[in-house]
Amino acid sequence: MFPSESEDLFDLMGDRPDKPEEACGVFGVYAPGENIATLAYFGLFALQHRGQESAGIATFDGSTVHVHKDMGLVSQVFNEKILQELPGNLAVGHTRYSTTGSSRRVNAQPAVVKTRLGSLALAHNGNLVNTAELRDSLAARNCEFATTTDSEAIAIAIGQEVDSGLGWMEGAIRAFQQCQGAFSLVIGTPDGMIGTRDTNGVRPLVIGTLPGAPERYVLASETCALDIIGADYLRDVEPGEMVWITNDGLASFFWATQPEPKLCVFEMIYFARPDSKFHNDSLYSYRMRLGRRLAIETPIDADIVIAVPDSGVPAAIGYSQVSGITYAEGLIKNRYVGRTFIQPTQTMRESGIRMKLNPLRDVLAGKRVIIVDDSIVRGTTSRKIVKALRDAGATEVHMRISSPPVTHPCFYGIDTDNQSQLIAATKSVQEIADQIGVDTLAYLSEEGMLEATQDATQNFCTACFNGRYPIPVPALLKRSKLMLEKLEPATVGS
């Protein structure tokens, strides 16, 4: 997915990001008579934090599909002229971070496949765990692949079912039943728009409505994408549900016989924007509750509480409220630094975080500091931040993390390293504290994290904290993120 928040602090300094990175943002709008390409553009703009590698929009004007996609940010890929060349009544959009398939233009989405009923355009958030098996099955049916993504495999599977004589809905359901893993999908067709989530609902997908008569519908990864275009939140797409949106309105079908909700809890802790809502509760409020619980579980005497901006801010405020210790800004973030291909000088590398974060010496000097962040994955960023705080005059540095230790990799759409590269999988809390250079380090308990959701605790996937994977993961997938690059390309026939 992205670098947004603090995870890309040192990407510019040549280090791997020190946060988990997620897959993608998906968006769809069915609104005849509206400027749908512009609506899709702004929807993707609001979802930019979910993917900064590539962006794309496909629109349907009757049976004609128009597609534009390229590498880069939404604002770099599209302009007014390009949007004017994307007419139609329905649009599907995507922002990408590569978790299956490398970061190349050919892998940008939406994935477009031709069928006997016309083209379909598919945008995918998540990761399948049976991609190799699905591709082998499709190759045996003489299918060709243009990309190395699991998303294209899903699109081709739908196309195959449609070409066998099924309609859009029946063909899509038949294809979904062949997929194992995490997938939230928005699919455009000449006849309507499909939205679905896997049987566990690992990745989010919401439904919104645009004002007017007749009512028009929007699908998006998060509610923040509804807000930006003036759409009202209607409800979530349920795990194992498919919605079919046409000029007649919205119809719902459940294709999974025994759905079991397992929303990725990291969506709530970190991935989604704080102004997005889950279960009618803003994630800003949830993250403040995490901080309050963190203060109860891990008290420490100090002079100020600061956050790693921006992702640690709500939890830091919550920690301050309960502890009674003053909240202050100790790190100023340069919000206009994105990815760059210009390598910093060695002096800049040695200066640590100042390209992205600059410590406020007059706030920190002589102070005992509590610094709050949402997670530690590898520890590289945390170590540099702690050094910068000490260089700025902090007399003590106590780090508090508003989630449990990340001990297991994710295979459902989050790009985390193998287990040996996750610092909490190989080191104790004290050893991590010693490595990153803090006086004390403490994490929120798993119980506290789940109770703060104010929802049934069994409704969340917490595998990255405890290794309890709700969907079985094949050994091959565990060995390589870019597994498809190592397979022989599928070819037609002979």
Residues 170 and 194 sit within 8 Å (Cβ to Cβ): no
CA distance 313 to 322: 15
How buried is residue 463: exposed, middle or buried, by Cβ count under 10 Å (0-12/13-18/19+)? buried
Residue 426: CB atoms within 10 A of its CB come to 12
Residues 359 and 388 sit within 8 Å (Cβ to Cβ): yes
**Three-class DSSP category at 459:** helix
Per-residue tokens: 369: 């500091």
179 annotated binding-site participant: no
CA distance 471 to 180: 8
232 annotated binding-site participant: no
311 annotated binding-site participant: yes
Residues 21 and 5 sit within 8 Å (Cβ to Cβ): no
Where in the sequence numbering do the catalytic residues fall? Answer: 24
CA distance 335 to 323: 29
**Three-class DSSP category at 258:** coil
Q: Which residues contact 308 (CB under 8 A, 6 or more apart)?
A: 6, 331, 357, 371, 372, 373, 374, 385
- Which single residue is written with the structure tokens 């979910």? 50
143 annotated binding-site participant: no
Per-residue tokens: 484: 């498809």
**Separation of CA 487 from chain center:** 26
Residue 494: CB atoms within 10 A of its CB come to 4
CA distance 43 to 50: 12
Question: Where do the H-state alpha helices sit in 274-420?
Answer: 283-297, 313-323, 346-350, 361-364, 380-391
Residues 231 and 58 sit within 8 Å (Cβ to Cβ): no
> Annotated binding site for Mg(2+), which residues?
311, 373-374
> Annotated binding site, which residues?
264, 311, 373-374, 410, 461, 464
